[in-house]
Structure 1
Amino acid sequence: MTSHTTTLIGTPDEDPDNPLLDAALAAAARGWPVFPLVPGGKAPEVRDWERRATTDPDRIRRCWTHGPYNIGLATGPAGLVVVDLDAAKPGDVRPAGTDLDGVAHGSEVLAMLANDSGNTLPPTRTVATPSGGLHLYFTAPAELEYRNTQGRLGWHIDTRAHGGYVVAAGSVVHGRTYQVTEDLPVVDLPAWLAERLRPAPSRPPVPPARLQAPGKRGRYLAAAIAAEVARVEGAASGERNGALYMAAQNLGQLVAGGELTEQEVRDVLMHAAAGYIAVNPSRIFKAEGTITSGLRAGARRPRKVAA
């Protein structure tokens, strides 16, 4: 499948004997690009799924007549923010310092959040998951690129937007189906939720001052930094952590050789990675740890620049 997100479908009921195909076509008919998930599961069947997600009915038919694939819905290209509300599992530990005694579902946490802030949650398209969760569909604000979050709104509440996907209605996991429980128009993400999920502004990259110095040494260091920044910024989804580690390792050799400071390298690489970590604290911590590991590895092979 290749990317094609403009063709819409008039009649989704193509094959009553292939409900997964019908469900994939129905999602695409709404302008929501889809891609195949492993049969009976939630993992992508294809690589680079966000780019390959499609609304082209011919491509969808060819794919879903080839196998009983579940349906991934690429939320970013679909212009959606999906709020994922999970049910608590036995043994789940509630966050310390919160008044969540007796709370057993993310929907309760979201209702408490709305009530405490004096807001309401408008009815919208809702899909029930086989594990007892709920997916609330909202239209994403147009002015910003919203991305995935994990726990940012509260306990057992995640969101899926750019860079993410949800398992679409009609998919089957462990013999149970993702079912539409509220077949309503998708409404705009409420302003109070949009504000809480607003992406953090990224700071423009600021090159270390010493890299602006003239001469052969300055040009070499500037080129070395630029190459590693390009490595991080150009990494595909699934390869970003490895690219960040390699960049930190390579520049760590220059740190060990006294050509750069550790803080200069950290600043430059965190700026380079800001596009995919800025709105997710867990990703920020992971990126910082990856840079630390790369710097340590690079320190084993100090490198100096010839004068």
Structure 2
Amino acid sequence: MAITDRRTFTLALAHALSAAEHGLPVIPLSATKLPALRSPHRGDDRPRSCRGACGLPGHGVHDATTDPAAVRALFAAAPWATGYGIACGRAPYHLIGIDLDIDTTGRNDSAAALQQLALQHLFTIPPTVTVRTPSGGRHIWLSGPPEVAVPNSAGRLAPGIDIRGTGGYLVGPGSTTLRGTYRLVPGTGSLPPAPCPGALLRLLTPPAPTHRHHSHPDDRGRGLIRFVLAADEGQRNTRLFWAACRAYEHGFGDTLADALTEAAARTGLPEHEARATIASAARLTTTRCEPPR
């Protein structure tokens, strides 16, 4: 390992240990902002819903821990790590990340969009931990109630506003990526994550779905199956992967996996290839629903 790489790794570990000491569950990240450890199930033919129960590292955000010894062990297994991720939705803060992206085209202003939402729905963002991203965007940290699972989303609230909730993670301050370093906005590092305003929380949590028959996919699932069935020969794997990602993001991926496999098989995709594609989607979306920025 080069001296610069070793220094970057050492700093990342130090920042991760500090975050863990403050109750934030962490995992090592590579310079691409993805979990540094690969899944131990990546060669499996069939999708697995393992979330770390096998005892092996490499389950993305499910590896996140506040135990210093476990943090050191994860980083020791990934000496190429240059940063760390902080798991959202976990005790004690049940962190919610508001990711304000920068649109280089100038068409969308995420900060202005958030301000407009605040005016429209009568809430204010309280003083809280804020992290500046290498692109010039910001991550706003908020604390959610333990009984509410905030889903991850990209652009659903407004263009350029992504949400990191349960099952997602935020790139921690002090992390170095291919685009630069994540840094705390001055004056916010000593603050705890502020409680998420109730009006904003309601925007972030869609109504609970009603399931008439738990053994059958809901309307969204049927739409995804139709999407796969409509694939031409050159689109089969791509369409299946996209549909599986959407299913896992919305929490019914495991339920829909067999139906998606059957649909892909009807288009001519071999079953083992279809299941491998769905497994890849499951691994991707359990560590991140959309790439963190």
Aligned residues: 211
- Gapped regions of structure 2 (runs ≥ 5): 1-6, 40-58, 230-242, 269-293
1:191 alignment partner AA = G
Residue 25 of structure 1 contacts residue 57 of structure 1 at CA under 8 Å; is this kept in 2? yes
Structure 1 residue 179 corresponds to structure 2 residue 183: yes
* Cross-structure match for 2:66: 55
2:70 alignment partner AA = R
Partners in 1 of 2:19 and 2:130 — Cα distance? 14
1:77 alignment partner AA = R
Q: SS where residue 131 of structure 2 aligns?
A: strand
Alignment partner for residue 201 of structure 1, among 208, 219, 222? 208
Higher RCO, 1 or 2 (CA under 8 Å, sep at least 6)? 2
* Cross-structure match for 2:34: 43
How big is the alpha-carbon RMSD for the aligned residues of Structure 1 and Structure 2?
3.7
Partners in 2 of 1:55 and 1:204 — Cα distance? 36
Instruction: Within 5 Å, give how 1:260-271 maps onto structure 2.
Output: none
Alignment partner for residue 67 of structure 1, among 74, 79, 91? 79
* Cross-structure match for 1:113: 117
* Cross-structure match for 2:195: 188
Instruction: Within 5 Å, give how 1:128-167 maps onto structure 2.
Output: 128-167=132-171
- Give identity over the alignment, percent: 32
Runs ≥4 residues deviating over 4 A: 273-276, 290-294
TM-score by structure 1 length? Answer: 0.59
* Cross-structure match for 1:260: none
* Cross-structure match for 2:19: 27
Give the number of the structure whose alpha-carbon radius of gyration is greater: 1
Q: CA deviation at 1:142?
A: 2.1
Partners in 1 of 2:197 and 2:156 — Cα distance? 16
Partners in 1 of 2:208 and 2:266 — Cα distance? 31
Instruction: Within 5 Å, give how 1:204-223 maps onto structure 2.
Output: 204-206=211-213
Alignment partner for residue 250 of structure 2, among 264, 277, 280? 277
Q: CA deviation at 1:294?
A: 4.8
Partners in 1 of 2:11 and 2:131 — Cα distance? 16
2:100 alignment partner AA = L
Q: CA deviation at 1:150?
A: 1.5
Deviations 1:64-97 (A, max 9, x none): 356251101111225111100011123x655xxx
Partners in 1 of 2:13 and 2:62 — Cα distance? 20
Q: SS where residue 77 of structure 1 aligns?
A: coil
Partners in 2 of 1:150 and 1:35 — Cα distance? 22
